Amino acid sequence: MGRLIQKIEKGLSSRFCRIFGDSFTIGFFILIVIIPILYIFTFVGSQWGSIYDNVFNHPITGDKQWFDLLTALLRSFEIAGIVTIIDVFIGLPMALILARYNFWGKKYIDSLIDLPLAVPTAALGFSIYLFWGTQYGISGLFGLETGLFSEGPLMIILVHIVFTYPYIVRNLKEVILRVDRTYEHAARSLGASGFTVFRTITGPLMKEGLVAGAILAFTRSLGETGATMIVFGVTETSPIQIVAWRELGLFGPAAFLTMILVLVALLLLLLLKLITRRVGLPIHKVFVRTERTLSKPILRKTRNGLIALIFVIFIILPSLWTFIYIGTNGSAVYSQVFLGSDNKLAEFWLSFTSSLSIAGLATLICIVLGIPMALIIVRRKWGKIKAVLDALIDIPLVIPSAALGFSIFVFWGTLGPFPGGVFSPGYWLIVLVHIVFCYPYMVRVLIPIIASIDPGYEEAARTLGAPSFTVFRTCTWPLLKRGILAGSIITFTRSLGETGATLVVMGLTRTIPVIIVDWVEAQSLAAAAFASVIIIIFSYALIFFLRKITLSAE
C-alpha cells in the first residue's frame, strides 16, 4: 500500500503531470471564470443591431430603455458615492479607535464590525428595513403606525452604509496598525498638535489603505442586489434593473447595461491597482489655531462618543433588529411559518438545503482549483504571465454580481457561443456562477499564506528524497491547512449570502437570500424574519469560528 502511494506520488511529480496541472488550472480559470464574464462584450458586439433597436429605438417604447438605464446608472453612482463618503467619515474614527485605544469590550466591538460582512445582505437588508421602514421598528417605539422612512434612496443608502462600513473599518484598521507611531512622535516633538500630526503624517502614511478601502466600498455599493431588492421601492439601481429586465425577458437592454457595469468595474479595478500610490494629501497650509483647538482632549472624547453612538444606532441595532422582531412577534412567526396553507417551512427547508449544497460544492471546487492557482501565482517564476494572472483574479470581485450572473447566463445559455446552450437556468448554473465569484476569495486568502511559508522547508524535504508531490502532501499541506479552512469559510459564507447573480440564473431553484426577498415582496415579514434569523446565526457562527482559527494561528 505504502509502496503504491509512493509510486503514484512519484508519477504525479513528473514533469508531465506538473505541466498538465498548471495548464488545467489556468485553462479552468480562463474558460470558466474569465471568458464567460468578458463574453458580454462579444455578445453586445455581435447583437449590436437588435440591441440598438431595443435600447435606443424601440418601436413602442422608443429610447425609454436607454433613459431608464442611464437613470439607474447615475443613481447607482450617486448612491455609491454618498455611501462611500459617509463610510469614510464614520469609519475612519472607528478604525482609529480600534487600532489605537484599549478599552473594555473592544474585542466584542471588533467582532461586531464583521457582522455585516458575514451575514447575507438580503437578511441584513431585511433587518434594516424592519428597523427603519416598518411599524415593528424604531417608529414603533414612538407609537407610530408606519415606518420612520419609506422605501427609496434614503433607505438604500442606510442599508449600503451598513454592509460597506466593515470594508472601510477593516482596511483602515490594518493600515493604521502598520503605521510606525514613532513618526507621529517625531512630528509631535517638532511642534505639531495631535490633529496636525494626523493630517500631515498619519494621513499620508495610510492614504493607500484609505483609497483602497474607499474603492472597495464603492464597488460593493455599486454592485449590491440582495439588500437593495428589499428597500428600493421604485428607485431602481443598475443591478436591480438587470434582474428586472432579465425577468421580463428584455435581454438586449440587460446585456447592454451588464457590459457597461463590467466596464466600470474593470476601470475601478485598474484604478485600485494603479492610482492608489499617487494620491497626495495637501499639507501646504496649516491652520495652527484651529487644528490646535481640534486636538483638545474634550473634542476627541466627544468624537469617540459620537462614533460609538452612530455605530450602535445606524449599524448594529438595525442589523440585529430581526431578533427583536422575532422576540416580540413570536406568534405571527409561528403561524406564518408552521401553520400557513402554503407550507413555508417546507419551502424554507428546500431552499436551505439547496443553499448549503450549492455553497458546499462551490467551496469544494474552489479549494481544488484555488490551491494550484495560488501556488502558481506565488511560486512559479513566470514574470509577466504571473502578474497578469494576479490582476485577472480580482475581476469577479469587483463586478456587480447581477452583471456577472447575467454574462455567465448568456455565455452558457442558448444565446451563447454553444449551439443549443450548455446550461439552462437552474441548480447547476447557480453552482457555476457561485464558483466564479467565490474563486478570487479562496485564491486571495491562500496567496499570502503560501507566500509566508518558508521555501526552505520544502527544499529540506526535497533533499531528504521526497518527490515534489510528496513534498506538497507532507510538508506544504500541513502548513496550509489552516489557510484553506479560513478560505473555505469565507467562500462558503459568500456563496450562502449571494443574491444578485442567483436571481439571474436560478430558474426554479431557490436559495435562502432569494426566498427572503420573495417573502418580503409578498409582505410575509414574519416568515422572512424567521429565515433571516436562522441564516444570520448560521453565518455568524461560521465567521466566529473563522476568527478563532485565524486568531489562534497568530
Partner 1 sequence: MPHIEIKKLSKSYGKVKAIDNVNLEIFDKEYLTLLGPSGCGKTTILRAIAGLVQPDHGEILFDGKDITNLPPDERDIGMVFQHFMIFPFLDVWDNVTYPLKIKGKSDAEMEETAGKALNLVGLSRHVNEMPEDLSAPEMQKVGLARAFSTGSKLLLLDEPLSALDTKFRMDFQHELRKLVKGLGLTAIHVTHDQSVAMNIADRIAIMRKGRILQVATPMDLYYQPNSIFVCNFLSNSNFIEGFVEKQEEKQSVVRLRGFGPKIAIPTDKWERRKRLVLAIRRNEISFGYEVSSKTNILNGKIVNELFLGDKTIFHLRLENEDIVEAEVLTKDIPMSMGHEVTLTFNIEDVMTFEYPDNLEDELALE
**Phi, psi (deg, nearest 5) at residue 62:** 65, -135
Q: How many Cα neighbours within 13 Å face the side chain of 319?
A: 28
For partner 1, give the closer residue by CB, 204 or 340.
204
**223 close to 401: Cβ distance less than 8 angstroms:** yes
Minimum distance from CB of 185 to partner 1 (Å)? 5
Minimum distance from CB of 209 to partner 1 (Å)? 14
**442 close to 366: Cβ distance less than 8 angstroms:** yes
Residues that bind partner 1 (CB under 8 A): 180, 182-183, 185-194, 196, 200-201, 204-205, 283-284, 286-288, 295
Query: What is the C-alpha to C-alpha distance for residues 115 and 166, in angstroms, rounded to an integer?
Result: 8
Minimum distance from CB of 279 to partner 1 (Å)? 11
- Least Cα distance to 124 among 158, 91, 96 occurs for 158
Minimum distance from CB of 303 to partner 1 (Å)? 17
For partner 1, give the closer residue by CB, 189 or 331.
189
Minimum distance from CB of 227 to partner 1 (Å)? 38
C-alpha distance across the termini of the chain, in Å: 37
Which residue type does 146 have? Answer: T
For partner 1, give the closer residue by CB, 207 or 386.
207
- The full DSSP string for 74-139 is HHHHHHHHHHHHHHHHHHHHHHHHHHH---TTHHHHHHHHTHHHHS-HHHHHHHHHHHHHSTTTHH
- Least Cα distance to 515 among 325, 354, 347 occurs for 347
For partner 1, give the closer residue by CB, 97 or 192.
192
For partner 1, give the closer residue by CB, 192 or 244.
192
Minimum distance from CB of 94 to partner 1 (Å)? 24
Query: What is the C-alpha to C-alpha distance for residues 65 and 442, in angstroms, rounded to an integer?
Result: 38
For partner 1, give the closer residue by CB, 203 or 360.
203
- Least Cα distance to 92 among 405, 247, 278, 303 occurs for 303
For partner 1, give the closer residue by CB, 74 or 281.
281
Minimum distance from CB of 197 to partner 1 (Å)? 8
